[in-house]
Structure 1
Amino acid sequence: MKNIIYLTLTLFLFCLTSCEDELNEVPLTTISPNNFYQSQSDLELATLGAIGLHSSLDLYSWGIHYAQTWPAGDYKRGPGDPWENLSFESNWFFSSLLWDANYKLINNVNLALDRIDGIEFESEEKKDALKGELLFLRAVSYFDLVRLFGKVPLHLSPTVDLAGSSLPESEIAEVYEAIVDDLKMAETILGLENPYGNGYATKGSATGLLAKIYIFMAGHPLKDTSKWALALEQVKKIVDSNNPSISASPYNYSLEPDFQNLFYLVVSPAFSGSGGTGSVTIGQPANENGPEAVYEINFDQTPGLISSAFPTSVSGLLINDWLRTYFEDDDYRKQVTMVTTNTDPLGSLFLEKKFQSTGSTWNDNSNNWTYLRFANLILYLAEAENEVNGPTQIAFDALNAVRERARKGKNGEPERATPADYTTTDASTKEEFRQLLYRERVLEFACEGENWFDWIRTERLEEMINFQGRPQYYKPRLEFFPKPQAQITLGNGNLTQNTGY
């Protein structure tokens, strides 16, 4: 079972990183990597374990979403709540959760990568598929770590003893270059489809994520503007610049025709009588692993397999006023993102709808998480094209491709007028186009965890917090979250706390 596997395989690193003062010998329950990684099936189980940890409550089933979405102010919180007033400190629970889980995952990956080339497989295709998956997962973990914490230790080989458990932190640029190296290798060896099926990375996953990495390297804090040209070159590998709604050959991605098909739309039982707005179909399953899924984290309700807790944790939560009013009323994405109820004594409420509960308890949901969808790459094409060449027709076509999908609404309905295409009348300069692009990203990815890091890389975090009516809570330190104080203590001088904590 996935969750059993990853807990067993990560026990060793957990003891190294969290129990240094108490560790006297390797626990008997730990699987020795020297004894375990002996066959193709061993590496398959190890990779499945790494995927299980990536899908766990600590990371993409719960933890990472809270770190991305709640501070961004998508949901209403009460006064004094740390999510509302952004009062994170060095003992912040999510710092420890995300730090520990990512480094457990990284060490699992390093152990497997250290052995995989020496193991005989039934085919090179399957060996490359697993190796590419492992490299992709390591890149994702370091991407999360460097965005969350800035300078972090860079472990690229297995940690098997206490001597190797504490490394000096690397510069942000070094971490990004390691991510680029992993994704370039993954892009080279992965196929257009992964023989292990859904939930595993493909060539398109690596190609698309590498474009995103270049976009982030071009922004704050690195501000390496030379990466804009690389981002444009990279994203054009996967998005057809002549018709941005579809992918370039040999890939087979496209925009999901109906925006609601990306999400399983269920109204919480408490609001089952309220109905939705427009013609969104409540209870319609998502088209999981569909044409827009460049990389999708798969979850399953089958007992013993990893389940998604995140959809339940936001089920029925109140959407903040700033986000509600950000949409034009007739934008179909607003109907998909939030549901209106008039049955509450407080009046009309706008409730989050993209990630509703599909199970019976808090952690038995099967909603997949769209880690990287094709719409994101289309908007990256628009952004990179604008930065390199100005607001060209390619940039407008890419931006309008996403708006056109929102304008079409549900399949079979007459096309609506909103949101209308943008033209050079709306933006004739790079800066004017940036503002249109930034707004579109909020509309397209509301409640999907993109906003917070977007605002940091574009140096708009203070602006957006002020826009939300929370100016008193902005501090420059919010560029990064606090590093776990326990890890700084264990690091014996190798780790430094981020400024302001």
Structure 2
Amino acid sequence: MNKIKIFKNNIIACICMTFALISCADLDEDPSISNLAPGAYSSQEELELGVTGIYGKLRDASQWTSFYVTGFGGDDITTHKVSNKIDFRAFDIRSVNGANSKTVGVWKDVYAMIRTANLVLESAEDLVLSDASVKDRLLGEVYFLRGTLFFHLARTHGRIPLPLTSEPDFEIALSSQLEVYEQIESDLLLAEKLLPSIYPDVNAGAPRPNSGSARAILARLYMDWAGFPLKDNTRYNLAASSAKQVIDNAGSHGFGLLDDLEDLWSLNNRFNKESVWSISYCVTCGTPNRKYGKLGHPGDLLGWQETFAEIKFFEDFPEGPRKEATYRTDYDWENFSDQVTPVFKKIVGPGDEISLDDFDTNRNDFYMRYAEVLLIYAEASGRSGNVTTEAWESLNKIRRRAEGLPFDEPNAIVDVTSGDIAELAFAERKWEFAGEFIRWNDLVRMERVEEALSDRVPRVSRNAAGELVQVQNEIIGSLGTDNYFAPIPTREIILNPNLDN
């Protein structure tokens, strides 16, 4: 890499088969126009190819666990104690440096997508279509993707540069945290305005985002904005109102809870209404997801030993259907010889659905679930001091399902209607999203990293010899706020010293 490159050529990735999977539209790629030269678009087809080209880049990046590497910092996820997982392990033990190959790769991939998005917006500026709503919808996707990608990277590094044109700026500086959040907000608000209530001709789970997808990501953004590092408590009101807006219009967006949490992890349900935005994959199309299956098993089970569950978190996890849906409790994991840690069912799949020999799967990424929208509403309502009966009901729906009960039927044994709803919802998130690579972000925004990671010693798990099992990866880095965000990749700073501040 000789410069922080701004790619204006080769913007269209090979996306035809995956696009066919998620849309009924016939957009098979024409090789003669797959590498459109920079310039103004002259047709709807060129705009469509530009937009779906971003998805091609996204899928290529997100098919690897690296895309979600910050998740290893949480108290729910760990990785192998030796082997070739050193850059995942760095997040696990809180010792990340600027040479970490995972953050280097994600930085490169995300900015390649952002640069492509900028070029698409510029190329479509003067395009006039007979159906203006089509152009709005496609541009809405671009703003959605750019805003979400900025957000994804900001959750890793905090302050980041914000390139908004396709022209290279080799001296661009880091934006302030406020500027970063304001740009993400701007993109998502514009996306919400341009996107339809539901994207036409796609499967469930919003593999192409709708206006509700944008509003849901906004709710997540406002929760981060209200927490560390800006601590703007006024954003809790916006988080609550945004989540409530999605809830009130869930039917028109095609969103809702599944009756059984475990059904989410079945390959047969990779398209489902609980996902408010999905990144879709397809093995037979040559676009597999490579984060699941084999990568979640230890060597004892022919696994590639990448993503495991923390022991203490597993011990603390409330017994019941949700724990059974989260972990492979049928495994005698305390007596594994390779890596003595529990295994996530969310990673390896239920039963024998994913072969032990397989690391290419059709599993989609549920980038954000409707369950999170409900819990954001409950938590943000509490933290903003505006608790409603609807907020309690949002929390109780998740609690009921966790117990294997119908989520929409009140249950006096499970339901809560008093106490600190914000803390109750925060705790509910801990269990509901275990192993989904988002616990770390919750610990950061609430400044609870030290509290969570200082208490990881197993208490009850013993092997066949009666010996207490041990933590596999001991913390060696700081648990303070100084170590919440990963450093900017060193090679980027060498190329542009303005990023070192």
TM-score (norm 2): 0.79
1:333 paired residue number? 322
1:445 paired residue number? 433
Cα distance, 1:71 vs. partner?
Answer: 5.1
Q: 2:229 aligns with which of 214, 221, 238?
A: 221
Residues 188 and 329 (structure 1 numbering): CA distance in 2 closer, same or farther, change over 3 Å?
A: same
User: What is the CA–CA distance in structure 1 between the aligned matches of 2:324 and 2:239, rounded to whole Å?
Assistant: 32
What SS does structure 2 have at the residue aligned with 1:170? coil
Q: Aligned letter for 2:66?
A: G
2:262 paired residue number? 260
Q: Aligned letter for 1:297?
A: I
Cα distance, 1:294 vs. partner?
Answer: 1.1
What SS does structure 2 have at the residue aligned with 1:295? strand
Maintained 8 Å contact 1:328/1:419 = no
Residues 472 and 90 (structure 1 numbering): CA distance in 2 closer, same or farther, change over 3 Å?
A: closer
2:462 paired residue number? none
**Structure 1 segment 101-500 matched on structure 2, within 5 A:** 101-159=109-167, 161=168, 164-195=169-200, 197-198=202-203, 199-240=207-248, 247=249, 250-264=252-266, 285-304=267-286, 306-312=287-293, 314-316=295-297, 318-330=308-320, 332-341=321-330, 346=335, 350-356=342-348, 358=354, 364-389=360-385, 392-408=388-404, 420-424=414-418, 427=419, 432-469=420-457, 473-476=477-480, 477-491=482-496, 493-496=497-500
Residues 440 and 149 (structure 1 numbering): CA distance in 2 closer, same or farther, change over 3 Å?
A: same
Most deviating of 227-236 and 469-478: 469-478
User: What is the CA–CA distance in structure 1 between the aligned matches of 2:210 and 2:73, rounded to whole Å?
Assistant: 30
Q: Provide the alpha-carbon RMSD of the alignment.
A: 3.1
> Relative contact order, CA 8 A, sep 6+: which one is greater?
2
Q: Aligned letter for 1:468?
A: R
Residues 374 and 99 (structure 1 numbering): CA distance in 2 closer, same or farther, change over 3 Å?
A: same
For structure 1, the residue ranges without an aligned partner over 5 or more in a row are 12-28, 241-246, 265-284
User: What is the CA–CA distance in structure 1 between the aligned matches of 2:111 and 2:377, rounded to whole Å?
Assistant: 32
TM-score (norm 1): 0.79
2:94 paired residue number? 86
User: What is the CA–CA distance in structure 2 between the aligned matches of 1:6 and 1:400, rounded to whole Å?
Assistant: 49
Residues 482 and 60 (structure 1 numbering): CA distance in 2 closer, same or farther, change over 3 Å?
A: farther
Residues 289-339 of structure 1: CA distance to partner in whole angstroms, max 9, x if unpaired?
3221211111111233x2211113643254221221222222x11111111
Residues 38-75 of structure 1: CA distance to partner in whole angstroms, max 9, x if unpaired?
3221221121110111122x335432222323554523
Cα distance, 1:83 vs. partner?
Answer: 4.2
Most deviating of 46-55 and 372-381: 46-55
Maintained 8 Å contact 2:255/2:275 = yes
User: What is the CA–CA distance in structure 2 between the aligned matches of 1:345 and 1:385, rounded to whole Å?
Assistant: 41
Cα distance, 1:452 vs. partner?
Answer: 0.5
Residues 419 and 401 (structure 1 numbering): CA distance in 2 closer, same or farther, change over 3 Å?
A: same
2:56 paired residue number? 52
Residues 406 and 418 (structure 1 numbering): CA distance in 2 closer, same or farther, change over 3 Å?
A: farther
Kindly tell me the number of residue pairs found equivalent between the two proteins: 434
What SS does structure 2 have at the residue aligned with 1:143? helix
Cα distance, 1:373 vs. partner?
Answer: 1.1
Identity %: 27
Cα distance, 1:92 vs. partner?
Answer: 0.8
